[in-house]
């Protein structure tokens, strides 16, 4: 529950005005319903008694009937306003939560970001945020509005009838609803967790089957995969059935509570009326008002069913939000992109690195110096730390020991914007967003024009491919679908070059390219950024021969 309260405090601190407006109208809607039904019951009974007693001619029909019309119209208007304001508050709270969550994720260590990048993690985060979108709309607002309206109704009933009627009718509703929520929060989290896990397994299994359908058909494994998917779907339905049963049982208990309260109001009213303590009209007022109060606790059925899922989601989301950041908040690059006139020097002095997850040593006492304009290749077997050195130089990983400096300045003392102006990285996996080719390039430099775009595409031997595909305004699908693996790699390289950084960090830039194209790409890099300093993680001979110097890593490894 503490994680749910932490999320609520975060939302309240940013959107308390919108939430308060929605809550006030939700409370007014419930009070209007109680007043409308209570007044209607009193009016009908009082009018009937007046007719029986023969004083109908002197009975005031106009003010009660006007009150009924006013409450009916007012209830409709407040309901409309409540829907607008509560949904507006919900959308604002979702925006607040997502912005805070994304900001927190972006400040996590690079290794943590790689874990979040996985499809299962992304699906889980999306599902958790979706679960919390009902925190205010289906949990906090209904419960607090119901409590406020029930307390006000109890006070009014005590004033208009007797304190006994107010206490006997309202107290069971409040205590019963509180007990249901308590039991649901305690016993509902495991079914909710199981249902969420089953749903995630079904989603992931479906996506995996669609992506691998060609291989599954070719290896004759499609039917087996479908059978596994059907089993997963059956498990998901079974898990969701547990949550549905919890909701139905909560609804049944709430219905029994409402029946108990209205029955109590009816018999207490009859008893008080026959003993001359209350009038029949007052007894009717108490009975019909109690009927309306059942509307106040009806949404708690949904709250009881979802509180387990919300608590489970809040635990995961809060752990991401509260995680210790690895760096200050990322700054916006406000300075214009300018072409580097000289390369940058890079120095790694006695650098060691251990992974933050397992503590495994990757580098131990590694030193390397690159002079401005120099091209150095890192050579070594897979796992020797080549990519790690590039990530350390880019400031994405933090060294355990040692010093990394660019142009004599420690990268730990550089602001994020200054560091990104100095360093540009081509990682092993580059993300391409859906959109046009020009949109992809403008991610690096929003001011790049078409002439500059063609220049960089020509440098990395991709201009002809883009021409045939329809030009700079041809659209790419998700993750650059529509281009081959090597073409996507070169497009990411072109985007990196548009940063015009004095230090280029290249992780296997010609991976997936044939020899001729690889040579054209490497020559194009030199032609486009002739003065830039280049550090390359190399596996291929053509990349090693491109470098001015080769640094072998075998002896820097810790096994």
- In tens, the pLDDT along 356-379 reads 666 677 788 888 989 988 999 988
**Per-residue model confidence (pLDDT) at position 333:** 40
Closest CA to 148 of 230, 27, 238: 27
- In tens, the pLDDT along 187-246 reads 777 777 788 778 878 888 887 888 788 888 888 888 888 888 888 888 888 888 887 887
**Per-residue model confidence (pLDDT) at position 503:** 92
330 neighbors 107 (Cβ within 8 angstroms): yes
45 neighbors 53 (Cβ within 8 angstroms): no
- The b-or-e profile of 413-437 (16+ CB within 10 A means b, else e) is ebeeebbbbbbbbbbeebebeeeeb
Q: Show the tokens assigned to 388.
A: 């790690």
Helix axes of 2-52 and 280-297: crossing angle, nearest 10 degrees: 150
Per DSSP bridges, beta strands 401-406 and 475-476 are unpaired
pLDDT band of 270, cuts 50, 70, 90: confident
- What's the rounded Cα separation, in Å, for the pair 517 and 461? 7
Mean pLDDT along residues 408-430 = 85
- What's the rounded Cα separation, in Å, for the pair 294 and 153? 12
Q: Show the tokens assigned to 478.
A: 């998700």
Strands (E) in 120-207, as ranges, are none
Cα-Cα-Cα-Cα dihedral sign, residues 172, 175, 181, 186: negative
pTM above 0.85, yes or no: no
- In tens, the pLDDT along 89-136 reads 778 877 888 888 888 877 777 777 766 666 667 777 777 787 787 777
- In tens, the pLDDT along 379-416 reads 888 878 888 899 889 888 888 888 999 988 888 888 88
Domains with residue ranges and CATH for the chain: 2-321 (1.20.1560.10), 346-556 (3.40.50.300)
């Amino acid at each position: 529950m503490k994680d749910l309260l932490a999320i609520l405090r975060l939302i309240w601190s940013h959107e308390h005005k919108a939430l308060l407006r929605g809550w006030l109208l939700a409370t007014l809607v419930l009070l209007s319903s109680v007043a409308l039904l209570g007044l209607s019951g009193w009016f009908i009974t009082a009018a009937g008694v007046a007719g029986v007693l023969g004083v109908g001619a002197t009975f005031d029909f106009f003010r009660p009937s006007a009150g009924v019309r006013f409450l009916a119209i007012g209830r409709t208007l407040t309901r409309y306003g409540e829907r607008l304001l509560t949904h507006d508050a919900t959308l604002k709270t979702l925006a607040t939560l997502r912005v805070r969550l994304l900001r927190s994720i972006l400040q996590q260590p690079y290794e943590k970001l790689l874990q979040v990048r996985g499809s299962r993690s992304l699906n889980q985060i999306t599902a958790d945020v979706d679960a919390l979108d009902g925190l205010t709309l289906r949990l906090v607002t209904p419960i607090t509005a119901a409590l406020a309206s029930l307390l006000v109704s109890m006070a009014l009933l005590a004033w208009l009838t007797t304190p006994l009627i107010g206490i006997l009718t309202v107290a069971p509703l409040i205590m019963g609803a509180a007990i249901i929520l308590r039991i649901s929060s305690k016993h509902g989290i495991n079914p909710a967790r199981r249902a969420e896990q089953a749903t995630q397994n079904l989603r992931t299994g479906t996506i995996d089957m669609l992506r691998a359908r060609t291989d599954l058909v070719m290896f004759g494994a499609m039917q087996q995969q479908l059978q596994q998917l059907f089993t997963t779907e059956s498990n998901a339905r079974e898990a969701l059935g547990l949550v549905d049963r919890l909701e139905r049982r909560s609804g049944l208990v709430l219905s029994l509570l409402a029946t108990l309260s209205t029955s109590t109001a009816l018999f207490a009213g009859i008893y008080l009326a026959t003993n001359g303590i209350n009038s029949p009209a007052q007894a009717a007022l108490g009975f019909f008002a109690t009927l309306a109060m059942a509307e106040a606790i009806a949404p708690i059925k949904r709250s009881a069913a979802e509180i387990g899922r919300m608590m489970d989601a809040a635990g995961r989301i809060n752990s991401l939000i509260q995680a210790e950041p690895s760096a200050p908040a990322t700054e916006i690059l406000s300075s214009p992109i300018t072409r580097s006139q000289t390369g940058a020097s890079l120095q790694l002095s006695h650098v060691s690195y251990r992974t933050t997850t397992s503590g495994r040593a990757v580098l131990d006492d590694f030193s390397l110096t690159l002079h401005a304009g120099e091209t150095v290749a890192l050579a070594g077997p897979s796992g020797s730390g080549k990519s790690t050195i590039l990530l350390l130089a880019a400031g994405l990983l933090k060294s355990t020991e040692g010093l990394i400096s660019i142009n004599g300045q420690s990268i730990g003392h550089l602001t994020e914007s200054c560091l990104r102006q100095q360093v540009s990285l081509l990682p092993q996996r580059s993300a391409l967003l859906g959109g046009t080719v020009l949109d992809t390039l403008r991610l690096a430099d929003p001011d790049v024009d078409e002439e500059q775009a063609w220049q960089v595409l020509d440098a990395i031997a991709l201009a002809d491919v883009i021409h045939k595909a329809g030009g700079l305004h041809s659209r790419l699908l998700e993750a650059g679908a529509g281009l081959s693996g090597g073409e996507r790699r070169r497009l990411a390289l072109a985007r990196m070059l548009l940063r015009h950084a004095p230090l280029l960090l290249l992780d296997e830039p010609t991976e997936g390219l044939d020899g001729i194209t690889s040579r054209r790409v490497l020559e194009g890099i030199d032609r486009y950024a002739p003065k830039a300093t280049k550090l390359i993680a190399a596996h291929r001979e053509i990349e090693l021969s491109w470098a001015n110097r080769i640094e072998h890593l075998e002896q820097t490894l810790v096994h």
